[in-house]
Chains A and B, each alone.
Chain A
Amino acid sequence: MIAEIGQAAIWLALFSCLWTIVAIAMGMRHHHLGAIQSGRNATMATFGLISTATLALVYSFIMDDFALLYVYEGSSLKQPLLYKVTALWGKMSGSLLFWLWLLTFFSVMVVWQNQKPLASTDNISLADSALITLSFVSFFFVLLVTGLIEGVRNPLARFPWGVVKADGLGMNPLLQTPSMAFHPPMLYVGFVSLTVPFAFAMGALISGNLSNLWLHLSRRWTMFSWIALTVGITLGGNWAYHELGWGGYWAWDPVENASFMPWLLCSAYLHSAMIQEKRNMLKIWNIVLVSLAFGFTILGTFITRSGVISSVHAFAQSQVGGFFVIFLLALLTGTVILILLRRHQLRSPNRLESLLSRESAFVLNNWILVALTAMILFGTLWPIISEAVTQQKMAVPEAYFNQIVIIPGLILLLLTGIGPLISWKTLTRSNFNRVFAKPTAISVIAALISLVIFYLYREPDTSVSTIILSAICILGAVFVLTAILEEFYRGGKLRAKRNQIGLFLGMIRLLRHNKRRYGGYLVHIGIVILYIGIMGSKGYDRLTTESLTPGQAIKIRGYELIAGEGFQQKHANFDLSGVNFTVKKNGKVFDTMKPARAFYFTAGQGDQDTIESAIHHVGHMGLNNLYIALGPLPSKFPNYTQEPITVEVYHNPLINLVWIGVAVMLIGGIIAILENTIPTTNLTPRGLSGV
């Protein structure tokens, strides 16, 4: 019965979405307040209906209702409660329902944030125009989960002929980890919330209100998306690092790329939006960028769901690709037509005055970010391109992406330091001397010193190019850090002097009074830390593989790991089998590590196991990792005296800086989002010209 209520809610949502679109469009065209209010109410109703359907599915999971096909495929009696709930997004149709629920929730937030009593037509807000786009996108997703489209089932559909299974197949064991409970929803939050800035941009085009209002209204949404995407991508990397057993966190998998590309475009938009705010320029470009960022979320979903490109994320694939392509084309066509119709109003009154100005630095930053996106997209699609031309589907290795992104990546690092420090309009000599001279000198010295150190302490297989690129990375990192810290110091000192307080308090006040600017600086510091982490962990990682029996040791960079007794533990829905390793450095024991493999024994998954790698923080400040992954265990395990176990040990230098860097980026992002840039006046559009 619950499932039927959920199904009915989905069907009703189809109509409420349509109602929102029609009512608001008609209301705007004829200045009919009742119609607009009705459209707003329909948005709320859609949220209520989709919430009902989502709750019905979650309830079915919790109650082990194996009469539902989706519950049968994604859960089992022994599955822990947390994973019964997260099974909601474990497969195709449920994840689309969850996506839709988020979208309708954000639509309601848009209504609540911007709603004014409809006393007069002046109070028809830009948000109302945005609701048309939001509902259009919602309609597309509702259509998907109704089960009408080939390749996607209704998540609440029952087995035919009233069949009820005794137990389910269970969720893919790889997904049964705490980080998987948070990684997909965070990515979804990031993807879905990008619909809102896009909807505001479309709202501005539809309503003809092409002032900077849409930009102000959507800034926090864009920051929110950026933060959610950052968290989601990092959690995914962390999951891969812990669960996949290859000692890395990023492999340029197509689905990783699909989440990274909107992040890059979102970052580009956050920068170029500032130029529009400060200098009233790049109006068309900003609309294009925000549309691209949103479009890439749909493209990412297409790549994830269609199975056109093989990926480690092949958990939820179907034949739904064609429908996504049609939707993407419809969005693209609509956006282009609207921009063309409004092109005269989108002309910028101001011009860039110098190549050496903050505007130009931001344009260059946009160039790198957009070019990077295009390069990654090209690499991601290369298997399809190569197959079309040579009839051979080629894989694109991780090394290829590392090669193509390294130069733009380093240019971007330098721009991270240059952009915020250079003055608007044009760079004067005094501005250059004041902010650039010191960081430039210090970074060049640091790069030269690091070059010598990297060369003197190199290992036999370290290439010269790795050493040179590392020194360039140090150059960029020190430049950005010095420049930003000097800005903090100078600003803090001024505040301290003005308010008769200490330097530290002065810096805190600085941060409090200009959250957006200094939050942004913190993000840049985080990026620098991240770069250093990537440099260490990707440039200087080491792998040693041995087959070991008890008592034998494996050596890596001065560490000795001695295999000990095997162990076995029983858990609710899996058995854990592993080996105790004693870790020695300079002959002294300093810890034990317990790599293992988990064997899931739920129905239909008897032979599935996951790698539970052991990770130990070592080195200065624990920034490096020792990482052990076990190969398949012998049949007589825990006895492995006769049959050795393959053991892979990685030494990953500075890898913890990757996670620390992201944490600093997030703190900066959260500080920046706290600043409200929405002007207190002129919140309503100057008129509703319609299209």
Chain B
Amino acid sequence: MLVILLQLSSQANNDDLKQLLKSVYCYCGCSRETIEVCVCGVAQEIEKKFKQELALEKTVDQIKSEYLAQHGSQFDAIMKAEGFNLVAYITPFLFLVISGLIAVIIIKNQKPKEDITRSIVSDNEFGDLEEKIRQYRQQR
């Protein structure tokens, strides 16, 4: 029973660690690399520290908050779609939709006004007219 409990606890710790490693950037200078991906010495030290803190039963959120408080919010690798961040998620799609609408309006407005002759002259009549013009040209 104890063995099973220990195994479960270790599995939970591993999952927490993975979650942590993916959630923050390394501050070594590779600004776009999470601790999970970064292979520098700094990242290794951070990973060790996270392991120790998890063993002390700190939560993932606690450890992450402390890390960001120490190094700065720019090392947060997860941009949750909440609060002011919603603006970051919504605005690009607004760009897409609004510019799309503008493009469609431009195309529609560029369409020539309906040709009056087409609405009152049938295709047969139009053909007859063309034939008459052709004959007229031949006569000239």
| Residues of chain A having any CB pair with chain B under 8 Å | 244-247, 251-253, 281, 310-312, 314, 351-355, 360, 363-364, 366-367, 370-371, 374-375, 378-379, 382-383, 385-386, 389-390, 392-400, 403-404, 407-408, 543, 545, 611, 629-632, 646, 648
Contact, CB under 8 Å: B92 / A247: no
Name which of B1-9, B38-46, B117-125, B128-136 contacts chain A.
B38-46
How many angstroms between the C-alpha atoms of A629 and B44 in the bound complex?
14
How many angstroms between the C-alpha atoms of A403 and B102 in the bound complex?
23
Contact, CB under 8 Å: B88 / A379: yes
Q: What is the chain A residue whose CB lies nearest that of B75?
A: A395
Contact, CB under 8 Å: B110 / A352: yes
Within 8 A of A (CB), among B32-82: 32-33, 36-41, 43-44, 72-79
How many angstroms between the C-alpha atoms of A9 and B28 in the bound complex?
41
Which residues of the partner chain A approach B77 to less than 8 Å between Cβ atoms?
395, 397
Within 8 A of A (CB), among B97-113: 99-100, 102-104, 106-108, 110-112
Q: Among A246, A310, A355, which residue has its beta carbon within 8 angstroms of that of B74?
A: A310
Which residues of the partner chain B approach A408 to less than 8 Å between Cβ atoms?
96
Q: Which 5 A-B pairs have the closest CB atoms?
A: A375-B92, A352-B110, A367-B103, A632-B41, A246-B37
Show 18 residue pairs from A and B whose CB-CB distance is below 8 angstroms, ordered by the A residue. Answer: A244-B30, A312-B31, A352-B107, A355-B108, A363-B107, A367-B103, A371-B100, A382-B88, A386-B88, A394-B73, A394-B74, A394-B76, A394-B85, A395-B77, A397-B77, A398-B32, A407-B96, A631-B43
SS class, residues of chain B in contact with chain A = helix
Q: What is the chain B residue whose CB lies nearest that of A597?
A: B39
Expressed in whole angstroms, the minimum distance between the Cβ of B85 and any Cβ of chain A is 7
How many angstroms between the C-alpha atoms of A440 and B108 in the bound complex?
26
Contact, CB under 8 Å: A646 / B79: no
Which residues of the partner chain A approach B30 to less than 8 Å between Cβ atoms?
244, 246, 312
Contact, CB under 8 Å: A543 / B36: yes
Expressed in whole angstroms, the minimum distance between the Cβ of A652 and any Cβ of chain B is 13
Expressed in whole angstroms, the minimum distance between the Cβ of A371 and any Cβ of chain B is 5
Expressed in whole angstroms, the minimum distance between the Cβ of B46 and any Cβ of chain A is 12
How many angstroms between the C-alpha atoms of A630 and B43 in the bound complex?
12
How many angstroms between the C-alpha atoms of A301 and B116 in the bound complex?
54
How many angstroms between the C-alpha atoms of A395 and B71 in the bound complex?
12
Which residues of the partner chain B approach A366 to less than 8 Å between Cβ atoms?
103
In the complex where A383-B74, A631-B39 touch, is A378 in contact with B95 (Cβ < 8 A)? yes
Most buried by B among A311, A396, A397, A648: A397
Q: What is the chain A residue whose CB lies nearest that of B104?
A: A355
How many angstroms between the C-alpha atoms of A374 and B91 in the bound complex?
10
How many angstroms between the C-alpha atoms of A403 and B32 in the bound complex?
17
How many angstroms between the C-alpha atoms of A205 and B75 in the bound complex?
47
Q: Among B74, B96, B108, which residue has its beta carbon within 8 angstroms of that of A395?
A: B74
Contact, CB under 8 Å: B38 / A360: no
Contact, CB under 8 Å: B110 / A400: no
Contact, CB under 8 Å: A390 / B92: no
Contact, CB under 8 Å: B84 / A389: yes
Which residues of the partner chain A approach B33 to less than 8 Å between Cβ atoms?
244, 246
Expressed in whole angstroms, the minimum distance between the Cβ of B39 and any Cβ of chain A is 5
Q: Among A253, A314, A396, A543, which residue has its beta carbon within 8 angstroms of that of B79?
A: A396
Contact, CB under 8 Å: B107 / A392: no
Expressed in whole angstroms, the minimum distance between the Cβ of A275 and any Cβ of chain B is 11
Which residues of the partner chain B approach A407 to less than 8 Å between Cβ atoms?
93, 96
Which residues of the partner chain A approach B112 to less than 8 Å between Cβ atoms?
351, 353
Q: What is the chain A residue whose CB lies nearest that of B76?
A: A395
In the complex where A394-B76, A396-B79 touch, is A374 in contact with B32 (Cβ < 8 A)? no
Q: What is the chain A residue whose CB lies nearest that of B72?
A: A393
How many angstroms between the C-alpha atoms of A355 and B110 in the bound complex?
10
Q: What is the chain B residue whose CB lies nearest that of A366?
A: B103
Contact, CB under 8 Å: A253 / B99: no
How many angstroms between the C-alpha atoms of A403 and B78 in the bound complex?
13
How many angstroms between the C-alpha atoms of A541 and B39 in the bound complex?
18
Contact, CB under 8 Å: A386 / B84: yes
Contact, CB under 8 Å: A629 / B39: yes
How many angstroms between the C-alpha atoms of A367 and B79 in the bound complex?
27
Which residues of the partner chain A approach B103 to less than 8 Å between Cβ atoms?
363-364, 366-367
Q: Among B39, B72, B100, which residue has its beta carbon within 8 angstroms of that of A630?
A: B39
Expressed in whole angstroms, the minimum distance between the Cβ of B55 and any Cβ of chain A is 17
Most buried by A among B29, B38, B41, B79: B79
Expressed in whole angstroms, the minimum distance between the Cβ of B57 and any Cβ of chain A is 24
Contact, CB under 8 Å: B32 / A646: no
Which residues of the partner chain B approach A371 to less than 8 Å between Cβ atoms?
95-96, 99-100
Contact, CB under 8 Å: A648 / B39: yes
Contact, CB under 8 Å: A632 / B99: no
Given A393-B73, A395-B75, output 19 extra A-B contacts at Cβ < 8 Å: A253-B32, A312-B32, A314-B29, A370-B99, A371-B95, A371-B96, A374-B95, A378-B91, A378-B92, A378-B95, A379-B88, A392-B73, A394-B73, A396-B88, A397-B78, A400-B89, A404-B93, A632-B44, A648-B39
